[in-house]
Structure 1
Amino acid sequence: MMRALWLAGLFAVHAQSVDALECAAVDFDGLRYTVCEVDATTDDLELFLFDDAGDPLGQFSTINRVLAPQNKRLAFAMNAGMYHEDRAPVGHYVEDGVEIMRVIDSAGPGNFGLLPNGVFCLRPGRADVFETKKFLAETRGCEDASQSGPMLVIDGALHPRFLEDGTSKYIRNGVGTSADGKRAVFAISDEPVNFHSFGRLFRDHLKTPNALYFDGKISRLYAPSLDRSDFGFSLGPIVGVVVADE
């Protein structure tokens, strides 16, 4: 009953569905976000980076063109991890069981190196966010995986470096997952927010015990159920839900 009431409240505004996918506008602590919840047990959640020729896909529209001959399309997508100028991933990246980039477990510059960072891992019927050290300590067997950072929420606690009055504010996006791996909740801020506010969205409102920051400034969302398709320069890793094109 509580779960049903939570969903009703979360998606009362502008919500539409494709299969189990739900996207909605959400207000939390006076800040505006767009949230898409995926049922990892039923939705076809995938990562995308390069085409068959090894070129970056880069855009949501390009992925849709690749999917079209299979009579498929994206029902939702967003950028899914940090990347270099050539669009190669900064950290660990696996697609269709093939490792493209190894795990980076050392501290470094920028948000990616603000440890602890983490790995978003897709396996049959589930999606999980793991803190990187924990990920390395156990064999995961991810079919798809993308490393990014920093972690937003770690086993129910905010990242220790986040400041409530932090002055660094950007449009930010990320993902949180439930303890049982059935829920993957993606969020993008619709106005500049700091890390503390963004982390609290996942911990206190979306109720995900682990959440991972994907990026800021370049953050983009594709949500056709909300008539939204953000556009800009070419992206690196992208996560999306694939559905049959009816």
Structure 2
Amino acid sequence: MPRRSASHTLLLLLALLGTSGKALDIRMVRGPGMTYTVASIKPGSDHLRLHWLNPTTDAPYGTFAELRERLRKEGRTLLFATNSGIYAPGPKPLGLHIEGGRTLVALNNARSGGNFALLPNGVFWLSGRRAGVTETQAYRRLALKPDFATQSGPLLVQGGTIHPEFRASGTSFKVRSGVGVCQDGQVRFVISAGPVNFYSFAVFFRDTLRCPDALYLDGSISAYATPGTNTQLMEFAGIWSVSR
């Protein structure tokens, strides 16, 4: 992978952070030691939605291609799609899943069992023009009623602080995806181009993208689609989409 100068990386970052008044923006951004695909989305302006069950078949969409076809029949064009949070066999979301204000899977308070339960974990939610990443128990106490929400874990960054279990020396390297709500109010979905550890992934959200709150979505199976790209290799439960 070619190295980019610090000035080139800075220009990319400034361009990325300057999209707050625009619609969906997708680009490659270089962070320390890794390149990431970053999709910047403006809540309330971009048509961001979460999907699990195809209303025609009542079965999970599973693939970006199936969701793309469903949207086409509704007269919509898929501009961007990526996986939501960690899921269980079915496939079924392992944690909270809300679509169109309807709770299809309840909040999961598990305290053990893999990355999902590496506390603190949290919920990414969307309500009109507002979006947030909120720690699970804080979300429960706030009694929010979002239009769309997914629960996963661990939280990468909470209030500007990296998850207490993460270490720069961490030896678990995987392709990773996550979502952050950033200082400019934009939602940013991120997929690493190669294996990274949790610490480096969290630092990218906090320091490069300036997202004080960010949530891990999933690992090696993570993928995204645009009109000209589809990196999916395995089925998903929840899929986030932006369409027009």
**TM-score normalized by structure 2?**
0.90
Shift of 1:191: 0.7
Shift of 1:10: 2.6
| 1:41-60 to 2 correspondences below 5 Å | 41-52=44-55, 53-60=57-64
| Distance (whole Å) between structure 1 residues aligned to residue 15 and residue 226 of structure 2 | 17
Residue 243 of structure 2: aligned partner? 242
Residue 3 of structure 1: aligned partner? none
Contact 1:11 1:22 in 2 (8 A): no
| Distance (whole Å) between structure 2 residues aligned to residue 74 and residue 143 of structure 1 | 19
Residue 86 of structure 2: aligned partner? 82
Contact 2:183 2:211 in 1 (8 A): yes
Residue 206 of structure 2: aligned partner? 203
Alignment equivalent of 2:37, drawn from 34, 37, 53: 34
Contact 2:107 2:151 in 1 (8 A): yes
Unaligned 5+ runs, structure 1: 1-5
| Distance (whole Å) between structure 1 residues aligned to residue 96 and residue 75 of structure 2 | 30
Alignment equivalent of 1:126, drawn from 130, 142, 153: 130
| CA spacing shift, 1:56–1:153, aligned 2, 3 Å | same
Equivalenced residue count is 231
Contact 2:81 2:241 in 1 (8 A): yes
Residue 233 of structure 2: aligned partner? 232
| 1:1-246 to 2 correspondences below 5 Å | 9-10=12-13, 20-52=23-55, 53-178=57-182, 182-224=185-227, 227-243=228-244
Report the residue type matching 1:218 in the other structure.
Answer: I
Shift of 1:171: 0.3
Contact 2:85 2:238 in 1 (8 A): yes
| CA spacing shift, 1:166–1:142, aligned 2, 3 Å | same
Percent identity over the alignment is: 37
Secondary structure at the aligned position of 1:72 is classed as: coil
Shift of 1:125: 1.1
| CA spacing shift, 1:12–1:124, aligned 2, 3 Å | closer
Shift of 1:97: 1.1
Kindly report structure 1 stretches of 4+ aligned residues shifted beyond 2 Å.
6-13
| CA spacing shift, 1:47–1:7, aligned 2, 3 Å | farther
- The superposition leaves residues 51-102 of structure 1 with CA deviations (integer Å, 9 ceiling, x where unpaired) of 1132010111111111112210211110011111211110111111111111
Residue 3 of structure 2: aligned partner? none
Unaligned 5+ runs, structure 2: 1-8
Contact 1:10 1:24 in 2 (8 A): no
Q: Please give the root-mean-square deviation of Cα atoms over the aligned residues, in Å.
A: 1.9
Shift of 1:142: 0.8
| Distance (whole Å) between structure 1 residues aligned to residue 200 and residue 10 of structure 2 | 21
| Distance (whole Å) between structure 2 residues aligned to residue 125 and residue 190 of structure 1 | 30
Shift of 1:223: 2.5
| Distance (whole Å) between structure 2 residues aligned to residue 213 and residue 231 of structure 1 | 18
Report the residue type matching 2:167 in the other structure.
Answer: L
